[in-house]
Structure 1
């Protein structure tokens, strides 16, 4: 009877403890109510090197990934340039990202904007300038029949040149071999670089977006009604790129621009026109045809609000402040299982109204792992194993695309520093899937996300002093094996650990409760980082 009364009393006092016996404690903490930064998901940033000033509050409240357009001739100018040049320029451009726990999405490109679309040369005073043309040595200059329309960014071809091809540039005879060799070097430089989140294929077309010229004739060209071989599209380049990137990148996820291309490859997608009505058929509907591709490959891109129906907005803040547009973006995020979106570089995160609207989208993008329940023993005696079990649900829109290790740890009860830790074997967080079949009316997935159960019997393989400790859980970044990815639960300590409760090592404890006042706000923690070797 005393035991029953004691357990009921504990349940009332703890709030977070749902069961407590003489041996085990089961805890259930509240979900963290707000959005927060987590690796490789959510709003993606971009800064033009040498032009945009990186503000003092960087990284932004949600920024964990940033886009880097990498000019071909800056990473390889001469065909004999080695991998070291790519690494050196990457180090220059990505300096310090590891100290902010930020990952990079690089995209190699050649042309920012073609001259017949109003393109301007690179600023000679800014060696990192992205504007202009970045052809490496050995590739002949582009020559073709396009002319810019007056007072427009559009181009045209005179009737007499309707079949005239472009020479040089993408159509130089040496270009395919140069592409293959460059991509091989990119793989050697980036496939094991912990700073790289995903790799956007790029290379072809303005901004590396696989148009002007195109990689196939699936869709009509931008400036002409019909395709012209070796002018509006590059025969054979789709396979050259697909084979090269598939071979070069075994670890990093590769993303391509259009869902209707590279059908023979398992690549992710960067759709750079989210929520544009003009891109519904070409973008959204084609991406829907990919089926379950999102389960293994990231789906992302950006909200481009300087053209089409979104051109009515002057700022990104206005885009998400518009209720219909925000809900439209949300519908696409959920239906396409979006991992990340750009377009926010100059947004004002000090604006309370924008913070509120941005948080709605941030919570939906990518993964969001919530621990529903955690069970562990109150005391470990002698050589006993540590038996733990917990359940997790992904309330986000996408999985986490890499199998990062989950660690169980004992923390010092005062300093909260790790005393002992063990990576849980055979736990693959990339398999923790969200729901599917989004219902706009009900604002939920019709196919609910699965609850994943983990149960482990862990040997204590180190000498641990007798005493009282805090049992905690975290997900480590393999780059340095430090806490990085957080669960969306309120029980959190600064530095990346989620405390579950007190545990005794060869010492009984009467009270497993943690003081909620000792918890730290997840969004406020900027202490996390990873290491580069």
Structure 2
């Protein structure tokens, strides 16, 4: 009985007494993973773009020709060494948006064909598709509404459909769940992998091959986020793809905003597609990211000349990142562009954390954590709140992940997570308690919170906690002796 009473005396202070931490909330311009601005990464090895505003996402086209060197023979190492590694050498925090492509108009002029060998530099798919036994027809063109030259395979050929599905399966086996991937854009079909043949209607990808490719991506990438170009039928029917709007903001919202070259009269416009074609897709942003780019000067200028409306559209359609084309390619616009970057994607702050004021290793310890997302979108990748116990010399002696799926914290909302955690075996004493949102996959950096003060690693310092010896260690030192 005396031993039980002593144990209860040790446990009760941990359970009954608690401390609440409420770190000040900030509005800083943070560089966090999988959100913000995106840079052109396809030809990075030929000379990278200037990174003026802390971008860490890179858009990389995946030429089918480079990747599949013979039927079902894939050069993953070569592709990554040529396209991803040069970016990682310059930015070790880089993540990627990949878009497979079989026809990119003017591959030579854009540098896409830089690594091609064997002639026909405007052909972006492997030659074996045209050769026996597949014999898939192909069509040369000089211009499709001013875009070209190029060479298009017959999208609707049965052999092409089979080969396309096999490629997508292989892509999934390589990249599904890869923490380096911000999103896969479901390309491959049509000009630029955008599932259309504007200006060259023959051959236009038909609905049958679109459905086949659409469904193949869904099956191949159950973990990695997916985007398509248009809110169209059948492109976005029955799936929860996110969208990449490449005429942002002209073809994004209805034209009441007065954006340059706006056209909301058909399904090339995102709002029109969501309102009239695939209404169910309006909620797709809850599971997959929305992004966009601005290829024309007037569109880029709208970012800085009409920032208030740009921010409204970002919030209304839940954009996570913008680029590779946009005003962020130019220096000198820090004030408006930092406000855009801060709004894009998630923006997490801790309102309060409640834990016992005396902690002991190996014991169940209750917590309450309140988190607010002030951004425009959810976080789409795996992150968990992490507590770090740092000793007086600045060494982290223990790290604990708290239960709570941050992907459920929608923009503009506050979520309270409750549960229990257990300390690792660390020495009794006083520690600095710090918090961040740690990655649940190896090789992915943590999220920095909108709170202060932060240490050099981006962790928010909450205060000092006391860790006492675990009860079993006390007993082992002689407590149980008569």
Question: Do Structure 1 and Structure 2 share a fold, with TM-score over 0.5?
Answer: yes
Once the two structures are TM-superposed, the CA of residue 31 in structure 1 deviates from its matched residue by: 1.9
Q: Are the structure 2 counterparts of residues 377 and 209 from structure 1 closer, same or farther at C-alpha, using a change threshold of 3 Å? A: same
**DSSP 3-state at the match of 1:90:** helix
**Aligned counterpart, 2:397:** 419
Contact 2:369–2:416 (CA under 8 A) maintained in structure 1:
yes
**Aligned counterpart, 1:428:** 405
Distance 1:91 1:147 in 2: 32
Contact 2:45–2:82 (CA under 8 A) maintained in structure 1:
no
Once the two structures are TM-superposed, the CA of residue 70 in structure 1 deviates from its matched residue by: 1.1
Once the two structures are TM-superposed, the CA of residue 377 in structure 1 deviates from its matched residue by: 3.3
1:495 to 450, 457, 477: 457
**Aligned counterpart, 1:92:** 82
| 1:329-372 CA-partner distances (Å, limit 9, x unpaired) | 22221111111110457846652xx0111011111110111111
**Aligned counterpart, 1:41:** 35
**Aligned counterpart, 1:274:** 248
**Aligned counterpart, 2:308:** 327
**Aligned counterpart, 2:480:** none
Distance 2:35 2:446 in 1: 13
Once the two structures are TM-superposed, the CA of residue 41 in structure 1 deviates from its matched residue by: 0.9
Once the two structures are TM-superposed, the CA of residue 25 in structure 1 deviates from its matched residue by: 2.9
Q: Scaled by the length of structure 1, what TM-score is found? A: 0.72
Once the two structures are TM-superposed, the CA of residue 170 in structure 1 deviates from its matched residue by: 2.7
**Aligned counterpart, 1:26:** 20
Q: Are the structure 2 counterparts of residues 482 and 332 from structure 1 closer, same or farther at C-alpha, using a change threshold of 3 Å? A: closer
**Aligned counterpart, 1:379:** 358
Contact 2:108–2:114 (CA under 8 A) maintained in structure 1:
no
Contact 1:121–1:133 (CA under 8 A) maintained in structure 2:
no
Does 1:355 pair with 2:358?
no
Contact 1:387–1:458 (CA under 8 A) maintained in structure 2:
yes
| 1:12-53 CA-partner distances (Å, limit 9, x unpaired) | xxxxxxxxxx94332322222222111111111113425653
1:143 to 132, 139, 142: 139
More helix by share: 2
Does 1:75 pair with 2:38?
no
Once the two structures are TM-superposed, the CA of residue 167 in structure 1 deviates from its matched residue by: 8.5
2:161 to 156, 163, 176: 176
Q: Are the structure 2 counterparts of residues 52 and 490 from structure 1 closer, same or farther at C-alpha, using a change threshold of 3 Å? A: farther
Distance 1:454 1:67 in 2: 35
**Aligned counterpart, 1:259:** 231
**Aligned counterpart, 2:344:** 365
Q: Which structure 1 segments of 5+ residues have no match? A: 1-21, 156-165, 213-221, 311-315, 436-448, 508-533
**Aligned counterpart, 1:339:** 320
Distance 2:112 2:208 in 1: 35
Once the two structures are TM-superposed, the CA of residue 490 in structure 1 deviates from its matched residue by: 2.0
**Aligned counterpart, 1:283:** 269
Q: Are the structure 2 counterparts of residues 375 and 103 from structure 1 closer, same or farther at C-alpha, using a change threshold of 3 Å? A: same
**DSSP 3-state at the match of 2:204:** coil
**Aligned counterpart, 2:114:** 126
Distance 2:249 2:113 in 1: 37
Distance 1:62 1:272 in 2: 21
How many residues are aligned here?
422
- Mean CA deviation greater in 264-273 or 89-98: 89-98
**Aligned counterpart, 1:190:** 175
Once the two structures are TM-superposed, the CA of residue 80 in structure 1 deviates from its matched residue by: 3.1
Q: Are the structure 2 counterparts of residues 422 and 482 from structure 1 closer, same or farther at C-alpha, using a change threshold of 3 Å? A: farther
Could you say what the CA RMSD is over the residues aligned between the two structures, in angstroms? 3.1
**Aligned counterpart, 1:153:** 146
Q: Are the structure 2 counterparts of residues 403 and 176 from structure 1 closer, same or farther at C-alpha, using a change threshold of 3 Å? A: same
**Aligned counterpart, 2:8:** none
**Aligned counterpart, 1:106:** 98
| 1:271-299 CA-partner distances (Å, limit 9, x unpaired) | 11111143434323124532221111111
Contact 2:102–2:152 (CA under 8 A) maintained in structure 1:
no
**Aligned counterpart, 1:510:** none
Once the two structures are TM-superposed, the CA of residue 301 in structure 1 deviates from its matched residue by: 2.3
Contact 1:135–1:169 (CA under 8 A) maintained in structure 2:
no
- Mean CA deviation greater in 249-258 or 380-389: 380-389
Distance 2:330 2:153 in 1: 45
**Aligned counterpart, 1:405:** 384
Contact 2:328–2:337 (CA under 8 A) maintained in structure 1:
no
Once the two structures are TM-superposed, the CA of residue 69 in structure 1 deviates from its matched residue by: 0.7
